[in-house]
Amino acid sequence: MNIPTIGGTKGIFEIFVPGVFLLLNIIGIFFVSPLADQNTKASMMALISNSAMGVIIAICFGYLIGILLRLLKVDTPDNLSALWLRLFSGRARKRKGQSTLFATEAFPYIGWVEEACQQYLPSEALQFYKKIWAKRKQVGENKQFINFCKTIISANDERAANEIYAAEALSRYIAGMFYALFFASILLLAVIIFGTNSTGQLLMVALLLAYILAIIVIIQNFRRIRIKEVETIFAASYKNRSLFEKKRNIKDENPVQLGK
């Protein structure tokens, strides 16, 4: 059986894995919470121990939860990551206490792409940026232009399109895991506050600390990952620059005169 990878066909893992992760946490927390009586726990255990039923539950509810997580804004972890960089990263600060576009600009970071072209890329890339991308720079977001680039490239360059969608899927996957970890942490915190047995509570505290650490790591790095996604789109559009630089030749035609 071929298992789709992140960024592969229909992006199963960027939706399915975060959903199943949160589903397993909900089930596990339910078992250790004081809300579940012994009869309910026994019934659920019998249901889950049936392998076929367990797979059905994971697919149906795990995928549903993953879809719900997918509907949440990717901009939230992105903005938190940018805030983290402004506070703690020397790379994100210029002289006189100002922050770079790397840590301030909203997705799709068109201004930062210009800085990257000036500092790191060949002059030809900067010329292409000024000709095509610079015109799309505006106050606020311009996700429509990025979607346009992805559509044009995917229709003409399959290999470049796969690179773009792999980078996008990685961002989506990490954003989904951020939300899954966040909601799982809230549930764990609630169980810790309302109490379990001493052994279970100790395990819950350890798990909560692990989830918080994972959330921090995501926040530290998410802006870099999403910028890498945009840089991949820019590189692919530069590789296929002829698709964006074409000029349509329009010839004036005399109208056909009938009934002379």
**Cis preceding linkage at 255, omega within 30:** no
Phi-psi region of 9 (alpha: psi -120 to 50; beta: other; left: phi over 0): beta
**End-to-end CA, the chain:** 70
CB 160 within 8 A of CB 62: no
Query: What confidence category does residue 251 fall into, taking pLDDT thresholds of 50, 70 and 90?
Result: very low
> Rounded mean pLDDT of 39-53?
70
pLDDT digits (tens, 9 = 90+) for 110-159: 999 999 999 899 999 999 999 999 988 765 568 899 999 999 999 999 99
pLDDT at 142: 82
Read off the DSSP letter of residue 8.
S
Please state the pTM of the whole predicted model: 0.84
> Rounded mean pLDDT of 166-195?
92
